[in-house]
Chain A
């Protein structure tokens, strides 16, 4: 999975190196300035077409634009989401690829993100941390037990 925030930082850095404004880049790619802004903050992914155009414009590979082949970033211990794509972090944690203090992270998660993490625990992909027990709602405890059934 791509870390959209990291991709956005790359696009912004390449643009800044060429002293180009968001407006100028938008005009070259025939997209709106808002679209460029959304890419750069990691709110959305550029289309395949736009990634290819960005690569041609900046004379780099599409792999570089998408930060493929790059080593995983070290995430802040204090704030896993700081400067990172939330979906990327949650998926990484739920697959056991990103290590973290789960109860601390859980506190920062949205309802859907908590469900994803609880499903991962219920299915044995993540270890259960006893400190989580007090943080769960009644419904979340049911999910943790593997279902809403008997």
Chain B
């Protein structure tokens, strides 16, 4: 009798019984049946619980990812929050729902850009606007690179407000990164920079680099300020 061919016709209890035999068999093979062979026929809830057990035991969860219910991933994220390494998590990414992917990206951002082999950049297609901005700011705060991506790659997708924020931050620090953001910064950001410069609040600002981007009134004020002080 070929058990493998009979798998589609087995009852839930029979499948569970078989699963026990397979997992306890040497090499994970019982009557030519592996656990992966059973996955398509098993109950989603049972599989979710089993995936969680496998994750807790430090085993790879890749083969479960496509067969479990979406809700099964939340407990995995809880394990990640508790500091557990989850093997095979990267293979589960296509099966996460939007909220789970968002949560995972947030965990990546909070853990230096990657967690359990998943890099923040892997989650870019799933990022909400707010997390995209957080990701962008992380690259800014980390000298232009974080979580497998650099600022340049994220610039097109960051919001206007967060680009202005990054530009002002870097310009006031005197960082060369500000030049990279300058073409994307708004007129309001340049006006604010001019105002802060004129009030003496930006000792590290390289005004020579940025005055050409400013509007005429601000440029006149800056030159008049220069003439008064020299």
Contacts and interface: CB of A to CB of B under 8 A. Distances in A.
Interface of A: 1-2, 4, 45, 47-49, 51-52, 62-63, 66, 68-69, 87, 90-91, 95, 112, 115-116, 118-119, 123, 143, 147-150
A63 B220 contact: yes
A123 B160 contact: yes
Contacts of A118: 156
Contacts of A51: 223
Interface of B: 98, 124-129, 132, 155-157, 160, 183-184, 187, 207-208, 211-216, 219-220, 222-223, 226-227, 230
B160 A147 contact: no
A68 B184 contact: no
Contact of A119 (B98, B184, B208, B211): B184
5 contacts: A2-B213, A48-B207, A48-B208, A66-B219, A147-B157
**Chain B contact residues: helix, strand, loop or mixed:** helix
A105 to B, nearest CB: 16
B160 A52 contact: no
Nearest to B98: A150
Contact of B187 (A4, A95, A112, A116): A95
A147 B126 CA distance: 10
Nearest to B215: A1
A45 B211 contact: yes
Given A52-B223, A62-B223, A68-B220, A116 B184 contact: yes
| Interface SS, A side | helix
Given A51-B223, A68-B220, A123-B160, A150 B126 contact: yes
A149 B160 contact: no
A98 to B, nearest CB: 14
Those 3 A-B pairs whose CB atoms lie nearest each other, nearest first: A2-B212, A45-B212, A143-B156
Contact of A68 (B155, B160, B208, B216): B216
Given A4-B212, A48-B211, A149 B125 contact: yes
B183 A87 contact: yes
Interface-central residue, B155, B156, B160, by most chain A CB under 10 Å:
B156
Nearest to A70: B216
Given A68-B219, A95-B187, 4 more contacts: A1-B215, A48-B208, A52-B230, A116-B184
A103 to B, nearest CB: 19
A149 B132 contact: yes
Contacts of B227: 52
A116 B163 CA distance: 12
B226 A48 contact: yes
A147 B155 CA distance: 10
Contacts of A62: 223
Contacts of B212: 1-2, 4, 45
